[in-house]
Structures are given as structure tokens and as C-alpha cells.
Amino acid sequence: MRAYSLIAPAKINLHLEILGDRPDGYHELAMVMQSISLSDRVEVRANATERLQVHCNHTQVPQDSTNLAYRAAELMTIEFPEAFQRYGGVKISLDKQIPVAAGLAGGSANAAAVLVGIDLLWKLGLTQSELQELGAKIGSDVPFCLSGGTAIATGRGDKISPLPDLEDIHVVLAKYRNLAVSTAWAYQTYRQQFGHNYPSDTNTLEDRAKRVHSGPLIQAIAQHDAAKIGQLMHNDLEKVVLPAHNLVSELKTALLACNPLGTMMSGSGPTVFALAKSKTHAEAIQAQIKQMLPDPQLDTWTAQFCPQGIQVS
Ligand code: C5P
């Protein structure tokens, strides 16, 4: 095959807890991640030359080496120089549906799709864990984006433990088009404001990470109890992003007033999502939020939980 077309789903965080600082400057996390049906389509095609090229239908997405999809291709050329020499460069086309810089891991999902696409194109036969190890070199969310579904993510967010699949749960997402929150800023601000509460010894850190595995949210997931999941969702980064961005905070309050199963900011935002009982319930929430906040800058989507990460289409 000379080209592969891949589906790259977005993620939301059902739980994001910051446990402490890491010596590498990142933060030790305990998260529950969930893939959703809102996805990008990524095409990875053999290039006639040795060049790596990225094309995207979205003007806000960089097409140079700052693009995570480009960095994924570049990493593959470094890790597998013989295959690169044999098969040549790649052309990557990104058809973006996932909003950019939204807290939905769109860029990480694109990078994950490029790893899978090149693995197939160059017939490398990498395992999921080998792909995840490569993914962690590109960004903390890339390992989850590869396997997707429902999973606990610890460490930097790159250590993945799969959970039972959650299907038939619907979600409404809302985001102001021109609002962006820097992930690095959100984590740094959290550290400045709440870092003094971190446990000082690593044993306590490990215990706290373990606690997530047996916590009530994981039980609700095992029971496939969408209402309970909605009540138990948590995101530590809301403590810094909501006070700094009134629009995000108002959006969350407005979504809550639409009677969802629960509502939460995803990742470092600014997307806020609400869980719904059914597709009809999600569409009703979407209609209501548009009526309550009739701002042409407010984009909304409905989607549903999906049980897989990168798929070849
Ligand atoms: O890993 P990634 O490049 O996606 O992370 C973006 C930024 O988010 C990092 O540069 C860092 O500032 C912050 N971050 C963090 N701790 C994590 C993950 C991300 O501080 N576990």
C-alpha cells in the first residue's frame, strides 16, 4: 500500500488530578481518559521524495516542524533510518474536525495516527506498547490516543491502564472559537497556587496514584453507570482556568443549568463538556446552550463515547 487513511478520535478527561511535581519539570498525574467520536481523518502517503510534508484544511494548524504530526514522522525517520531510506518520505494530510488548542488532544491524536500510518507504510510491525513508547516522546497524551477507549493514565499521563469500554454515553462539547488556554501556563499556575499541598514523599504520591484505581469513579465505570460518572467527574485544572477565564466559567454554569448528567472542563480547557443520557438528551442540551448563550463565537458539538483509539479506515 502507498497510503493509509486513519481515524483519530478526540479525548475528554473524566478525571484529572495533579499529584505532584516531577524532576523532569512535568507533573505527576492521575487521570481517567475517554475517547469520543469527534475525530480527525489523517492520511499518510508515501512521498516521491525524502521530504516530510504536512497539509491541513485548518488555517490555525502549523504545517511545519512545530506540528505534532510532523514531529511524529520526524521521530520515525530518526528511530528507523533504514526503513526511511528504503521507503522514503511521507505526505500527511490532516482533515480537522477536532477543534484546535481545545483540551481535546487533537494534535496528539494526529501524531498517534501518523505513528500508526508510518508503521504500516514501512511494514515495521510495531506492537501497541512500542508505539506508545514512541508516542510518549512526542507528547504526554499520545500514548492514550493510540489505544483510546476508556483508560487510567498516570505518570506524566503516558502510563496507560485500560478500563472496561463505555458505550452509548453521549456528550455535548462547547468552546469559544478564539479562546485558547496554554497547557503549560495552566500547570505552572496550578503549581504556584497549590504546589504547597503536594505530598512531600514519593510513597504518598504512589499511594495517591493507586487510590484512583480503586476509587468510586472506576466503580461507576465498571457498572456502566453514566449518571454516577457524571456526578463524580473532577478536574484540578478548573481551579486555575475557571477564575482566569470568565467565559469558560460562565459556559460551565450555563451547561449545568441544562440538566446534564454532569459537566466538566476537558484537560486544560477551554472546551467544556456535558454528559447526556441519550442522543436526544445531548441534542436538547446543545439546543438549550445555544439559546442561553447566543454568541456566534460559541461552537458546539455532540458526540458519543467510543471504545477505540486510532483506527485504519
Ligand atoms: O506533554 P505535552 O507536551 O503535551 O505537555 C504540554 C505542557 O503541559 C508541558 O510542556 C508541561 O508544561 C505541561 N504538562 C505538565 N505535566 C504533565 C503534562 C503536561 O506540566 N504531566
How confident is the model over 198-222, as pLDDT tens digits? Answer: 877 777 877 888 888 889 999 999 9
116 is in an annotated binding site: no
Give the pLDDT score at 203: 74
Q: Is there a catalytic annotation at residue 11?
A: yes
Fold classified for 3-164: Ribosomal Protein S5; domain 2 (3.30.230)
pLDDT band at 227 (very low <50, low <70, confident <90, very high): very high
Q: Which of 137, 140, 189 to mutate to test the pocket of ligand 1 (most atoms within 8 A of CB)?
A: 140
142 is in an annotated binding site: no
pLDDT recorded at residue 288 = 98
What are the Cα distances from residue 223, in Å, to 35, 57, 183?
18, 40, 32
Whether 228 sits among the annotated catalytic residues: the reply is no
pLDDT value, residue 113: 98
Residue whose CA is at the smallest distance from ligand 1 atom 20: 26
Spatial separation of the C-alpha atoms in residues 106 and 108, rounded to whole Å: 5
Q: What is the pLDDT of residues 99-120, one digit of tens each?
A: 999 999 999 999 999 999 999 9
The dihedral through the CA atoms of 14, 18, 22, 25 has a sign that is positive
* Mean predicted confidence (pLDDT) in 250-276: 98
Ligand 1 pocket (Cβ < 6 Å) reads 26-27, 29, 139-141, 156-157, 183-184, 187
Q: Which CATH architecture has domain 170-304?
A: 2-Layer Sandwich (3.30)
What confidence tens digit (pLDDT) does each residue in 247-258 have? 999 999 999 999
For range 292-309, the mean pLDDT:
97
Residue with the larger pLDDT of the pair 265 and 204: 265
* 43-55: pLDDT as tens digits: 999 998 889 999 9
The DSSP-derived string for the chain is --EEEEEEEEEEEEEEEEEEE-TTSSEEEEEEEEEEEEEEEEEEEE-SSS-EEEEES-TTS--STTSHHHHHHHHHHHH-HHHHHHH--EEEEEE--SPTTSSS-HHHHHHHHHHHHHHHHTT----HHHHHHHHHTT-TTHHHHHH-SEEEEEETTTEEEE-----S-EEEEEEETT----HHHHHHHHHHHHGGGS-SSHHHHHHHHHHHHTSHHHHHHHTT-HHHHHHH-EETTHHHHHHH-HHHHHHHHHHHTT--SEEEE-TTSS-EEEEESSHHHHHHHHHHHHHHS--TTEEEEEEEB-S-SSEE-
Q: What is the pLDDT of residue 25?
A: 92
Ligand 1 centre from 99 Cα, in Å? 19
- Point out the least confidently predicted range of 7-11, 80-84, 190-194, 200-204: 200-204
Kindly indicate the confidence band of residue 140, based on its pLDDT and cuts at 50, 70 and 90: very high
Distance 206 CA to ligand 1 centre (A): 20
For a mutational test of ligand 1's pocket, the pick from 183, 192, 236, i.e. the residue with the most ligand atoms closer than 8 A to its C-beta, is 183
Q: What is the pTM assigned to this prediction?
A: 0.96
Q: How far is CA 165 from CA 221, 265, 267, in A?
A: 8, 22, 20
Confidence check on the interface: ipTM exceeds 0.90, yes or no: yes
Domain boundaries, the chain: 3-164, 170-304
